[in-house]
């Protein structure tokens, strides 16, 4: 190609570029004919709205019950302090009270100590409240603040 003029080089290069460009373009494939489709959307019964949060006297009664029965939860923390003396922070227990007054599901977030979370959830699942006034479920989010007691 050294002996070719610039014009001759360009005449050779243009068809090569055109060929390369056409090879890079996706070729349309013959797709099967599209069929009519119909989607029926309905409410999934498994996706029910969350239970309501207790209000007024019911809320105060539930808070009093938790505070009066939090001994096992404090024991969970004190047990973990033996292995992790600097463990402290806030753990929010979220649970539902069923129509019978029993806890029917619980989770927790906050402190990342798995053993403390498991112990607290086991204690929360044993709580038995009065039946909700609504006759249905209630959703509770209760914070537990953990900090070591000062030495006496």
Share of the chain above pLDDT 70, in %: 68
Round to whole Å and give the CA distance between 133 and 143: 23
Structural domains of the chain in order of their starting residue, each with its CATH number? 56-146 (3.30.1150)
What is the per-residue pLDDT across 75-99, written as a single tens digit (0 to 9) for each? 999 999 999 999 999 999 999 999 9
**Contact by Cβ (8 Å): 66, 128:** no
What is the per-residue pLDDT across 3-17, written as a single tens digit (0 to 9) for each? 545 444 445 444 444
What is the per-residue pLDDT across 9-46, written as a single tens digit (0 to 9) for each? 445 444 444 444 444 454 555 555 544 434 444 445 55
Round to whole Å and give the CA distance between 14 and 12: 6
Q: Is the pTM of this model over 0.85?
A: no
- Which is higher by pLDDT, 41 or 135? 135
How many other β-carbons are positioned within 10 Å of the β-carbon of residue 132?
20
Round to whole Å and give the CA distance between 99 and 137: 5
Give the orientation angle of helix 71-83 with respect to helix 114-124, to 10 degrees: 170
């Amino acid at each position: 190609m050294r002996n070719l003029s610039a014009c001759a080089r360009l005449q050779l290069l243009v068809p090569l570029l055109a060929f390369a460009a056409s090879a890079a373009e996706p070729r349309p494939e013959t797709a099967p004919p599209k069929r009519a489709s119909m989607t029926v959307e309905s409410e999934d019964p498994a996706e029910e709205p969350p239970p309501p949060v207790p209000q007024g006297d019911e809320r105060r009664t539930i808070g009093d019950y938790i505070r009066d029965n939090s001994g096992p939860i404090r024991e969970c923390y004190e047990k973990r302090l033996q292995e992790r003396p600097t463990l402290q922070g806030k753990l929010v227990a979220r649970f539902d009270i069923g129509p019978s007054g029993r806890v029917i599901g619980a989770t927790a977030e906050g402190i990342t100590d798995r053993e403390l979370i498991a112990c607290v959830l086991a204690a929360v699942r044993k709580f038995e409240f009065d039946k909700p006034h609504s006759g249905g479920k209630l959703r509770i989010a209760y914070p537990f603040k953990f900090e070591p007691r000062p030495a006496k």
